[in-house]
Amino acid sequence: MQLSLNIFLTKVAFLISYAYFCRPILRIEKYHYYKMANHKSALKRIRANETKRLRNRYQHKTTRSYIKKLRETADKTVAVEVYKTVASMLDRLAKKNIIHKKKASNQKSKLAKLVNSLAVAA
C-alpha cells in the first residue's frame, strides 16, 4: 500500500513539474482558437494576427452601422455629410483588403444614387 502511494505521488509530482516547464497553450480570452506554436516569432505572429482580426472586425462593423444610418436618413444635407464619412470608411476598408475594392466601389455607387435621389428638407 505504501509503495503504490509513493509511486502515485511520484507520478503526480512528475506531471505537475512537466506541466509547469512546458510551453503553455495560449488561452487568452480574446482568442477565438487555441494554438500551440513552436517559435517565439510564431507566438508573436498569432498575437498580432488576432489583434488585427479584432480591429478589422470592429472597423467593418462600424462601417456597416454607418451605411445603415445613411440608408435611414431622409434629409439630404445630413445624408451628404454621412455619405462623405461612409465613402472614406469604405475606401479605407478596401485599401486594407478587409473588403474587395470593387465591393467598396459598388456600395459607394449605390449610396451615391440614394443620396442624390433624396429631396432637400425645407
Q: Tell me which residue of 41, 37, 40, 88 sits closest to 63, measured CA to CA.
A: 88
Domain count, the chain: 1
Asked whether the whole model's pTM tops 0.95, one would answer no
Indicate the DSSP class of residue 64: H
Please give the chain's pLDDT, 122 residues, in tens: 555 656 655 555 555 544 444 444 444 455 556 667 888 899 899 889 999 999 999 999 999 999 999 999 999 999 999 999 999 999 999 999 999 999 999 999 999 999 999 987 64
**What CATH number did the domain enclosing 48 receive?**
1.20.58.110
Only one residue has cell 475606401, namely: 91
Task: Tell me if 15 is assigned to some domain.
Answer: yes
Task: Tell me if 85 is assigned to some domain.
Answer: yes
Task: Tell me if 79 is assigned to some domain.
Answer: yes
Task: Tell me if 84 is assigned to some domain.
Answer: yes
Task: Tell me if 72 is assigned to some domain.
Answer: yes
Task: Tell me if 122 is assigned to some domain.
Answer: no
Secondary structure element (H or E) that encloses residue 55, with its range: helix 40-72
